[in-house]
Amino acid sequence: MIDAILTLNAGSSSLKFSLFEASGGSLTRLANGELTEIGDQDRAAFLDQVLGWAEVHLGGDRLAAVGHRIVHGGAEFTQPTRLGATTMAKLEALSPLAPLHQPHNLAAVRAVAKARPDVAQVGCFDTAFHHGHAAEVDRFGLPREWEARGVRRYGFHGLSYEFIAGRMAELDPALAAGRMIVAHLGAGASLCAIRDGRSLDTTMGFSALDGLLMATRCGALDPGVILYLAASHGLTTAAIEDMLYRRSGLLGVSGISDDLKLLLASDQPAASEAVDLYVFRIVREIGALAASMGGLDGLVFTAGVGEHAPAIRQRVCERLGWLGASLDAAANARGGGRINDAASRLALWAIQTDEEQVIARQTRDLVLRT
């Protein structure tokens, strides 16, 4: 009997899932899928269907474990961890730091526990990849008592960055060992400075609001703005949270859409202004991370926008000419590999990420090898 692992990535209204066969030292993806536009009340029923689907695909094989993407692991959870009552209580306490993700990640864990109580469950944390930064990278300029209470930078998208770091070690070992920035550009977006497979710095911080402009999130913001909104306009904490997470970013600046495809195609000035700001913030943060590493050898684009928006890659790289970036136009239009031309001093890549592969590997290593 061969063991199998189901991976779950639960969003606010979606559920991505993949089924892997774990045989010897290898992982083979058997099937995958995604459910969209599901509500919280329907989540348990949909998960039960996914579990049934997995068991049909397994035939005589055994579902050994379910691995979950958990966005926030805080300071404590720096390795894949079995999920039980004590662990879940600690992760629930982190929900205010990732309100768009954490509650839905944990709801999926509870639903699986109810439907299949005998199946091991493992949490794989987006924050874990960034553990081990130098103290000055993660420290805020606040009284030390707040750092002791966990108010510090954590970083996110770690499962994606871990996959890209490993993949680049195969595709371009020299770059992977050098000074590489990975641009994870999706609905949520961040950058990570990586050297020898380790995160040295990243743009997201205490929460998933920080750093780049995103689809509906504001990115880095002067904290004085929040004080002003509360003191001068009477906005409640809930109203401010809703605006910063759900009504800002590309959507807020354009007033049209959070979809870059629509904004790039639009002739409305506000759409162009939103895209300009999006690109500017990416380029500025690349400069900051290059300074953190003492230089830059290459840039890797990944995630939905990074993989599928050649116009954004082009605009970013044009503004990085001072660092030596030079695109091959035909390669950039195709995507899916190396996209710099022969004159470029920077290695430029567009690579598909695979968070599920990392979740499956981490889950296998914890459950089947311990």
**What's the distance, Cα to Cα, between the start and end of the chain in Å?**
18
Lowest-confidence pick of 88-102, 176-190, 225-239, 330-344:
88-102
The position carrying tokens 């040295």 is: 200
Contact between 192 and 205 (Cβ < 8 Å)? no
Instruction: For 104-132, write each residue's pLDDT tens digit.
Output: 999 999 999 998 899 999 999 999 999 99
Q: How confident is the model at residue 345 (pLDDT cuts 50, 70, 90)?
A: very high
Ranges 45-49, 75-79, 225-229: which has the least confidence: 45-49
SS3 for 306-370 is: HHHCHHHHHHHHHCCHHHCCCECHHHHHHCCEECECCCCCCEEEECCCCHHHHHHHHHHHHHCCC
The CA-based angle 343-347-352, given to 5 degrees, is 135
Q: What's the pLDDT score for residue 370?
A: 62
Rounded Cα distance, 357 and 29, in Å: 8
Catalytic residue, candidates 3, 40, 48, 126: 126
pLDDT at 15: 82
Give residue 183's pLDDT: 98
**Is residue 13 predicted with pLDDT exceeding 90?**
no
Strand intervals (E) in the chain? 3-10, 14-23, 26-36, 62-70, 81-82, 120-125, 180-185, 189-195, 198-202, 298-302, 337-338, 347-350
Predicted local distance difference test score (pLDDT) of residue 255: 98
Query: Strand 3-10's sheet: what is its strand order?
Result: 26-36, 14-23, 3-10, 62-70, 120-125, 81-82
> What are residue 69's DSSP bridge partners?
124
Mean pLDDT, range 234-259, rounded to an integer: 97
pLDDT for 265 beyond 90: yes
Q: What is the pLDDT of residue 244?
A: 97
And the tokens for 263?
Answer: 């904004």
pLDDT for 229 beyond 70: yes
198 CB burial (10 A radius; 0-12, 13-18, 19+) = middle
Above 60 in pLDDT, residue 205? yes
Mean pLDDT (the chain, rounded): 93
**pLDDT at residue 34 in the model:** 84
Nearest to 129 by CA among 165, 95, 102, 103: 165
Backbone angles phi, psi at 153, to 5 degrees: -85, 140
Q: In the annotation, is 297 catalytic?
A: no
pLDDT at residue number 56? 81
Distance of CA 54 to the CA centre of its chain: 25
Domains belonging to the chain, first-starting first, are 3-125 (3.30.420.40), 172-350 (3.30.420.40)
Q: Indicate the pTM of the whole model.
A: 0.94
Strands (E), 37-128: 62-70, 81-82, 120-125
pLDDT-based confidence at residue 3 (cuts at 50, 70, 90): confident
Mean pLDDT of the 284-295 span: 97
pLDDT at 290: 98
Under the banding of pLDDT at 50, 70 and 90, the label for residue 274 is: very high
Residue % of the chain over a pLDDT of 70 = 97
Instruction: Count Cβ atoms within 10 A of the Cβ of residue 285 and give its class: 0-12 exposed, 13-18 middle, 19 or more buried.
Output: buried
Tokens of 195: 């050297």
- Output the six-digit token pair for 92: 């629930």
Two tokens at 77? 């959870």
Q: What are phi and psi of 59, to 5 degrees?
A: 65, -115
Per-residue pLDDT tens over the stretch 33-72:
888 777 666 777 778 888 888 888 777 778 889 999 999 9
